[in-house]
Amino acid sequence: MKFTDLAPIAGTRRTADGYLVADVRTARTGIQLYAGHEVGKPEMATVKVYRPEDQVFDKASLGSYAHKPVTSDHPDEAVTADNWKALSVGQIGDEVARDGEFVRIPLIVMDGATIGEIEGGKRELSAGYTCDLAWEPGTTPAGEKYDAIQKDIRINHVAIVQRGRAGSEARIGDGAGKWGVSPVNTQIADERIPKMDLRKILVDGLTVETTDQGAQAITKLQKDLESSAAKFVDAEKAHQTALVAKDAELAKKDAEIDALKGKILSDADLDKRVQARADLITKAHAIAKDVKTEGLSDAAIRKAVVVAMLGDAAVAGKSEAYIDARFDMLVEDASKNGADPFRTVVQQGLSQVSDADKVVTDAYSQMVADMKAGKTSAAAN
């Protein structure tokens, strides 16, 4: 990859032949910034490139300065034997040395027009070179983080340019033209990268400085988070409401089940009901043997017996309790007027009743069947 370095021309002198001789600093160690798209990383705004001492002051790298051509501005291509005569305005000497963090070189400018430009103010140098850019992120001994390292630095030429952005400090500069890659100057605005106005925004209680686009993105994300949180709250409320409704439904079902259980008779209760029903039918037929009992409730049987014995007028407008009392009185009167027919039936057994009382037996059997069928149906529900 091709790069350029900038440095000022200082301490110049003229020779007897009119040539201009200077001793200058042309490169330094450390970290320099590059636009990401210029070094193959368009997804990065800037890239920090490290120039370590062992590469800048490598013997082969320093040796590559000696006798290389000096040009007026950077040429569009590397200087070679094929174009040297047309592009060169001078030459670098061979006494290349380290000067602190800089590389110091001697040079001579031999072209009169270029010398005139230098004396008129065109006094910056920009070194054009190639190097391998190794993407090896790390931290310098001074604690600065970087993204890549320059290795195998080899000088092609040194160009005289109108202005270097670093002033008197040697650095990779903006005089690259089509020659190579120019870094981002941290002190003077780079025309190729628009200056970004930063604004402060509060993120989770912390103040963050970012661009307008970054602030817009953060604000959108914050609104999205708030919307998601609101949706979560609504979903939680709906979930709780559904749970309450389901609990109410289950409670209702439990109540219905309990009610059904209450209606289911145990075997002992069923036996008592059957016995009581049989006793009632026996008493009814003992008092009024032709009374119909099939399909009638207990209360209806008592009422039918009272009507059969005393007539409709006896029950007209009367309460169930009154009718039950009249029935009990008829049962008592029947027992006083001779042998108790009910007791006789119980003692002798239903199988010995007369043909006239066969209906009692049939009613008893039907009632038992009905009650058993009712118990089975209740249990199934």
The pLDDT, as a whole number, for residue 140 is: 94
Structure tokens at 177: 């033209």
pLDDT in tens, 270-287: 788 888 888 889 888 888
Residue 27 clears pLDDT 70, i.e. is over it:
yes
Residue 49 backbone phi and psi in degrees, to 5: -110, 130
The residue ranking higher by pLDDT, 371 or 95, is 95
Question: Phi and psi of 194, rounded to 5°?
Answer: -60, 140
Read off the pLDDT of residues 161-216 as tens digits, 9 standing for 90 and up.
875 433 333 322 333 344 555 565 444 334 444 445 567 777 777 777 777 777 78
Report d(CA 184, CA 44) in Å as an integer.
13
Would you state the pLDDT for residue 71?
Answer: 93
Whole-prediction pTM: 0.45
Output the average pLDDT for the chain.
79
Q: Is-contact 318 305, C-beta < 8 A?
A: no
Left (φ > 0), alpha (ψ -120 to 50) or beta: where does 204 sit?
left
Amino acid 172: pLDDT: 29
| Tens digit of each residue's pLDDT (9 = 90 or more) over 301-337 | 999 999 988 889 888 989 999 999 989 998 888 877 6
For residue 342, what pLDDT is reported? 53
Over its C-alpha atoms, the chain yields an Rg (Å, rounded) of: 58
